[in-house]
Amino acid sequence: MSTRKSRSCSAFTLLELLIVMLLVGGLVALSVPSLRSVRLTATELQCVTNARTSMQMIDLYCGTFKDYFPTWLGDGQEVLSNEKKRSAYTYQGSHITQTARWFEWCGQPRSSRVMRCPANQDLRADPTGVDADVDYWWTSSFYIDPGYLSPTVTGDNWNPTLGARVQQRAGVMFPSSKVGVFELAVWHGWPLVTGPTTDHITLMFYQSVRPGSRAMLDGSAALEHPLPGRIVRRAPYWNYIPYETTAWGIRGRDR
């Protein structure tokens, strides 16, 4: 008789089980945001590391090729006098990183993700990464005379060929923090899911929710939103994106 009574007292009631389940559910609900925050922080740290590695690759290239920044189009008149080639000259840095030759020179397989944000959703859909664009773009400062960015150069002196000059690492005349790579598409923290009907404009660094990664020639690397305003526009081909043709650099380094 006493044994049966003891067993009866040790059992959980339905009410007690419900209370335990509610408590566990509450703890899980509280922990999910924390886990997401930890995962986002880890992703962003990896993204900054990738950006720094991309900049280091460029730095190594300069050390090998007479201190010049990587280029496949020179600044000669045969290039600058041709409208299509002139446009290609301006954006060549971002196209070089997508070539098999650049991956080969860097000792990276074509499927390497070092030049892509680890949160890139296209890479998840395509594990090889072969067809995915790079996320880190080179600043056009590699290929433009720093004097052409001076605010004293007025609009009547703008010219598509003026200022075109492949730079050498040791000859950079503007702050070295202006020369580097920046994250064009900021995937980490992006609240949407990529698809045929998705508006991807909010991926761009100038509209992103989270700050993008940037790494510069001076060795600095961080997450940062670009400094708005104070953009020097140079028409018709020179970029006027912050991090590239701002008057004197980026936040914390302006002068």
pLDDT digits (tens, 9 = 90+) for 212-229: 998 888 888 999 886 665
- CB of 178 within 8 A of CB of 141? yes
Contacts of 138 (CB under 8 A, 6+ apart): 58, 93, 94, 96, 97, 180, 181
Stretch 141-149: mean pLDDT: 75
Q: Report which DSSP code applies to 228.
A: P
Triad 107, 111, 115: Cα angle to 5°:
75
Side-chain half-sphere exposure of 166, counting CA atoms within 13 A: 20
The sign of the CA dihedral 150, 156, 158, 162 is negative
Q: Where are the beta strands (DSSP E) in 7-161?
A: 136-138
- Quick check: 253 pLDDT over 50? no
| pLDDT bucket at 29, cuts 50 / 70 / 90 | low
What is residue 81's three-state secondary structure? coil
Tell which wins on pLDDT, 155 or 211: 211
Interatomic CA distance for residues 200 and 196, integer angstroms: 10
Q: Report which DSSP code applies to 149.
A: G
| pLDDT bucket at 107, cuts 50 / 70 / 90 | confident
Q: Find the farthest-apart pair of alpha carbons in the chain and give their distance in angstroms, rounded.
A: 105
Q: What is the pLDDT of residue 176?
A: 60
Interatomic CA distance for residues 138 and 215, integer angstroms: 10
**Domain spans, the chain:** 33-224
Q: What is the pLDDT of residue 23?
A: 77
Q: What is the pLDDT of residue 181?
A: 87
Interatomic CA distance for residues 52 and 63, integer angstroms: 17
Interatomic CA distance for residues 165 and 141, integer angstroms: 9
- Quick check: 247 pLDDT over 50? no
- Quick check: 251 pLDDT over 50? no
| pLDDT bucket at 151, cuts 50 / 70 / 90 | low
Strand partners, 183: 136
Side-chain half-sphere exposure of 179, counting CA atoms within 13 A: 27
Average pLDDT, the chain: 76
Question: Which among 13-22, 38-47, 178-187 has the top mean pLDDT?
Answer: 38-47
Weakest mean pLDDT among 14-23, 39-48, 136-145: 14-23
| pLDDT bucket at 242, cuts 50 / 70 / 90 | low
Q: Which two tokens stand for residue 227?
A: 């400094």
